[in-house]
Structure 1
Amino acid sequence: MKRDKEEKTMKRTAECTRKTKETDITVKLTLDGTGQNDISTGIGFFDHMLDGFARHGLFDLTVKVKGDLRVDCHHTVEDTGIVLGQVIARAVGDKAGIKRYGHFILPMDETLVLCAADLSGRPYLSCDASFPTERIGEMDTEMIREFFYAVSYSAMMNLHLKILNGGNSHHMAEAMFKSFGKALDMATMEEPRIKEAWTTKGSL
């Protein structure tokens, strides 16, 4: 029994490195974690958002990024999304025996955010979020959509994010990242009643 648990934990951990002329990124993710994380992207607010994602999804997450921040935050944020999506896809593997769908509505003061995820193998992003400010700290708010787009397509995930009630930009962004963590945690949970991938197609 212990050996089976160890083997499963290994299957649900993934690490990926991506290096280009613009960024050098390493991400390690353990789905069955406790929310422990070590994050350094060079963008303080982005670190804060990834911390919220990991803690509320109970994922152990390491993110190390060196990006061309002398240009702007675009490549750093987008490329981190690409690599995070890749490690999510690797960690869930063939998706056998998981719930596949996850959803969460998360309040943060005046803000209310809905996130729904389907680990379908078919990438799609619907992001309904309009921020009242152009920047939060050193991060452009328009990059929040770009991050989730990159994650959804690299992870081959159907992802919907919707601001049901807005307000403060910081609250809105934080609620989006935390609700994504909660929804992804639900989607990757075990479904003990099935052993295969949960689909009529036979595989995802």
Structure 2
Amino acid sequence: MRIAEIHRKTAETSIDVAVNLDGSGTYTVSTGIGFLDHMLEQLSRHSLIDLNVAVVGDLHVDQHHTTEDSAIAIGEAVSKALGDRKGISRFGSVYSPMDETLTRVSLDISGRPYLVWKAAFSQPRLGEWDTELIEHWFHSFAQSAGLTLHVETLYGSNNHHIVESCYKGLARALRQAVEIDPRKADSIPSTKGMLGAG
């Protein structure tokens, strides 16, 4: 089983994360930000990655540290669970529709973190979550997980639908990419013989 736990404690947040890449999409999530919880539940359910996340953050300041640090810890857990990346499919790409909205998500578990983000919101928050932090969550996750990640909402008008299509698209693309390719289960999917910088 490809599992990992991360315990991250700073002066701003205290976070415990556990993932199982070969799970069934079960989750227990508590960040103190309701809409972020909802999105992480979607991430788990649609990626089939079991996800336990417990965050105590300085929400009396604002939501920035909780958002950023949760993404860092989840990304670190996914990276740790992947181990040497042997046998993974590596790439994932999906179109994620939600009513009037359509988002395209493509990723490469390359070890070279990069985010291309082309999604925008017309309101300052969803529930109590500041919408400007959504891109930041994806950026922090891509950095810590070592993903090249492209997220583009092709069209859509409902802010809830836009962000949910982004998270569901990430989930489905991640599901593809972390799966073991039975034809190459003993090799690393790179001509370099490793996945990482360079």
- TM-score, length of structure 2 as denominator length: 0.97
Structure 1, unaligned runs of 5 or more: 1-8
The answer on 1:119 being equivalent to 2:109 is: yes
Post-superposition offset of 1:166: 1.8
Shift of residue 193, structure 1, vs aligned partner: 1.3
Query: 1:193 corresponds to which residue?
Result: 183
Alignment identity in percent?
48
Q: 1:67-117: per-residue Cα shift (whole Å, max 9, x none)?
A: 011111111001100001100100111111110001111100001011111
Partner of 2:158: 168
1:36 correspondence with 2:26: yes
Q: Which of 64, 69, 89 is the matching residue for 2:54? A: 64
Give a deviation string over 1:143-192, Cα, whole Å, max 9, x none: 11100110111111101100011211111111111110100010001111
Alignment-derived partner of residue 3 in structure 1: none
- In 2, Cα distance between equivalents of 1:103 and 1:13: 23
**How many Å apart are 1:137 and its aligned residue?**
0.5
Give the SS at the match of 2:181. coil
What are the residue-to-residue correspondences of 1:44-193 with 2, within 5 Å?
44-193=34-183
SS at match of 1:190: coil
How far is the alpha carbon of 1:43 from its aligned partner?
Answer: 0.5
Aligned residue for 1:13?
3
Distance in 2 separating the partners of 1:94 and 1:167: 41
3-state secondary structure, aligned to 2:15: strand
Report SS of the residue matched to 1:126: strand
Q: Which runs of 4+ in 1 moved over 6 A?
A: none
Aligned residues: 194
Mapped to 2, the partners of 1:133 and 1:114 lie a distance apart of 21
Q: Distance in 1 between matches of 2:173 and 2:19?
A: 16
CA RMSD of aligned residues (A): 0.6
Taking structure 1 as the reference length, the TM-score comes to 0.94
Provide the C-alpha distance between the structure 1 equivalents of 2:84 and 2:38, rounded to a whole number of angstroms.
31
